[in-house]
Chains A and B, each alone.
Chain A
Amino acid sequence: GENVEQHPSTLSVQEGDSAVIKCTYSDSASNYFPWYKQELGKRPQLIIDIRSNVGEKKDQRIAVTLNKTAKHFSLHITETQPEDSAVYFCAASISSNYQLIWGAGTKLIIKP
């Protein structure tokens, strides 16, 4: 079946540095790639998404890049702050139905 692999599972960075999380997907017809942030004990919330007709999208300190040929997409967070500490999930749409397939998550730790 379709799957999404997400790396790394844990990422520790110094406050102010950049963080990069990568996901690869298997369905070459996937066309929607969201990223969600989940703080401890809270619900997942969308932080940024990208569609297959766009290569890069930015929103302040957050950016997502998509390489359709290689079937991978990445989340970039610059100038990390303590409030960026959370679990981040990537997902990819399945072309044959209405589902999203989710990565296993990356725990981002911002060290002061």
Chain B
Amino acid sequence: NAGVTQTPKFQVLKTGQSMTLQCAQDMNHEYMSWYRQDPGMGLRLIHYSVGAGITDQGEVPNGYNVSRSTTEDFPLRLLSAAPSQTSVYFCASSYGVARGGDTQYFGPGTRLTVL
């Protein structure tokens, strides 16, 4: 199993550009989520999904969109990039939907810089 994969690993955008961060998992996990991690801070939840066709907002959803058309894929779209979105983005998945009470497996991360 490849686990959780993310592409790209690095990305530089100009203010106002849009892009999609890709996330895929091959573990048949129901729960998938996107976090951002800023220097010296913990992980902040952007959006999450408890199954195909079901998504919901996390702590910091503004400026981001998600969709979940399949169990495997959970892309994150930046609509109009801003310097405040410079961060490291992690995708994570877990097997169950037992109210978050399950091991989350993280992807390797995408380091995004917005100029």
> Considering the complex of A and B, which 4 residue pairs feature the smallest CB-CB distances, nearest first?
A32-B101, A102-B42, A43-B106, A93-B100
Taken residue by residue from 83 to 106, chain B's Cβ proximity to chain A (1 for < 8 Å, 0 otherwise) reads as: 000000010000001011111101
Q: How many residue pairs, one in A and one in B, have C-beta atoms under 8 Å apart?
A: 59
| Additional pairs, 5, CB under 8 Å, beyond known A32-B99, A42-B108, A89-B43 | A6-B42, A51-B101, A93-B99, A98-B56, A99-B100
Give the A-binding residues of B (Cβ under 8 A): 31, 40-45, 48, 50, 56, 58-59, 90, 97, 99-104, 106-109
| Size of A's binding interface in residues, CB under 8 A | 23
Interface centre among A32, A97, A99, A104 (most CB of B within 10 A): A99
Residues of A within 8 A of B106 (CB): 43-45
**Distance, CA A49 to CA B101, complexed state (A):** 9
- Is residue A100 within 8 Å, beta carbon to beta carbon, of the partner chain? yes
> Nearest-CB distance from A21 to chain B (Å)?
13
Interface residues of A (CB under 8 A from B): 6, 31-32, 34, 42-46, 49, 51, 89, 93-95, 97-100, 102-105
